[in-house]
Amino acid sequence: MLTKFVFDYARYVLKGGTKFYAWMGVLGLLILGMLYVYYLQNTEGLIVTGLTSQIHDGLYLANLVFLVGVAAGAVTIVFPAYVYHHEGMHKVTVLGEMLAISAVIMVMMFVFAHMGRPERLWHMIPYLGIYSFSSMLGWDVMVLTGYLLLNFGVGFYYLYSKYTGKPVNQKIFMPLVYISIVWALSIHTVTAFLLAVNPARPMWFHSMMPIRFIATAFAAGPALIIIAFLIIRKNTKFWIDDSAIKLLATIVTWCLGIAIFLTISEVVVELYARTEHANGLYYLMFGLHGLTALVPWFWSSVVLMVVSFVLFLIPSFRNNMQRLPVICAMAFAGIWIEKGMGLIVPGFIPTPIGEVTEYYPTFVEVLMTLGIWAFGFFILTILLKGAIGILLGEIKFGAAAAAEAK
């Protein structure tokens, strides 16, 4: 029966109209470009990237950190659905789990992209590798793997039950759901520790980092989910209730406000009595020694986040399903900048010995990044299309379909 489930699922997702095939074709081209530059990286080395001895984490780690938040943001659907029994959310919980799966896969791919020697990845395997417990990245990979397995198990067990027409075993299902809720918080906390436990990097070395990460995760994740839900409503027969979208918009509003408040607090504390430890933040905001590459990034992030937050506060914008995707896209982009390039790179400027250098992503890094995002959206499209087919009853096991026909 499991083989039949996989076959029916695959057969359904391969069918589509012109828009579907055009979308998948564009993603496929970007994936091919990613494979090419990945080949370059592994034959010529990381010299083809803009990474240096001074700045050894750039665009790849920035996307890794951001996407962990997107994955954790799926809990904003699961928690209201199962803890507060929100009916509108309960219908779409499995779609949030599909997003989490796709985001974690992208995170893992950025880990591979960032490694100069991917064949040494086995060192992160618990008890076998030398970095599994001594490296914070090893812990991060472990909790992310656990989160991936949890969402995969919970999501596809629910879909399989729907496919066969059998009830979900609540004694198994609900404990896994509650574990996944707590686990979602852990993945972004450990990712925050990945940065915050570096005393030589004053911009990261503070206890506010995990709180900022959780706040931005619960803003960026739901923002992307809202956009996905509105696309699904427009292009499929699956209807997502306004109540679910409005609740997610409310979550984005307040979490975005908290994130902005924490950013302002950090700016005041660091720059009010400026010491050399504030040079990374000062470089990000105003430049340092004539170097200003990230200054436009920072202020564009501030504008996007503040403007989107103000618009979210206005009910006529927040509850308007035509305007809402634009506001969500602004918030999503602002958080990506603030949590990616606006956090990772300035943490290395200046270096612990006072060197001031700048980082510019190369074409290889840009194409690799676009390709990984394309692969993630490729997987997400397949997962969402199949899940919607099952929820609509268009993918059913033969016996269940025959019973329903009677």
C-alpha torsion angle, residues 242, 301, 189, 211 (rounded to 10): -90
Neighbours of 312 (CB within 10 A): 24
Cα–Cα–Cα angle for 333, 187, 65, rounded to 5 degrees: 35
pTM above 0.85, yes or no: yes
Can you state the angle between helices 324-339 and 59-72, rounded to 10 degrees?
130
Neighbours of 140 (CB within 10 A): 24
pLDDT at 126 over 80: no
> Alpha-carbon distance 285 to 294, whole Å?
8
Helix (H, G, I), strand (E, B) or coil at 297: helix
Q: Quote the strand ranges of 260-325, DSSP E.
A: none
Neighbours of 319 (CB within 10 A): 14
**Nearest of 6, 222, 267 to residue 99 by alpha carbon:** 222
The more confidently predicted of residues 384 and 115 is 384
List pLDDT tens digits, range 56-105. 888 999 999 999 999 998 888 888 888 888 888 888 899 999 999 999 99
User: Which stretch of 129-138, 214-223, 249-258, 394-403 has the lowest confidence by average pLDDT?
Assistant: 394-403
**Alpha-carbon torsion 297, 289, 358, 138, what sign?**
negative
* Helical segments of 165-276, H only: 170-196, 209-235, 242-272
User: Which structure tokens are listed for 216?
Assistant: 């931005």
pLDDT at 401 over 60: no
Domain ranges of the chain: 2-405
Q: What Rg, from alpha-carbon coordinates, does the chain have?
A: 22
Distance of CA 295 to CAs 30, 41, 338, 342, Å? 29, 29, 11, 9
**Nearest of 302, 291, 307, 289 to residue 342 by alpha carbon:** 302
Q: Distance between alpha carbon 142 and the CA centroid of its chain, in Å?
A: 17
Looking at residue 404, its pLDDT comes to 52
Helix (H, G, I), strand (E, B) or coil at 85: coil
pLDDT at 215 over 50: yes
pLDDT at 405 over 70: no
Mean pLDDT within 308-315: 95
In the structure, what pLDDT confidence band is assigned to residue 373 with cuts at 50, 70 and 90?
very high
pLDDT at 30 over 80: yes
List pLDDT tens digits, range 259-269. 999 999 989 98
pLDDT at 399 over 50: no
Q: What is the CATH number of domain 2-405?
A: 1.20.1630.10
pLDDT at 344 over 60: yes
Q: 41-55, 133-147, 165-179, 303-317: which has the highest mean pLDDT?
A: 303-317
> Alpha-carbon distance 230 to 325, whole Å?
8
Residues in the chain: 406
**Nearest of 288, 212, 214, 218 to residue 247 by alpha carbon:** 218
Q: 268-272, 308-312, 344-348: which has the highest mean pLDDT?
A: 308-312
The more confidently predicted of residues 354 and 225 is 225
Helix (H, G, I), strand (E, B) or coil at 322: coil
The more confidently predicted of residues 25 and 123 is 25
In a 13 Å sphere around the CA of 374, the CA atoms on its Cβ side amount to 19
Which amino acid belongs to residue 379?
I
- With a CB cutoff of 8 Å and minimum separation 6, the contacts of 39 are none
Q: What percent of the chain has pLDDT over 70?
A: 97
Neighbours of 109 (CB within 10 A): 22
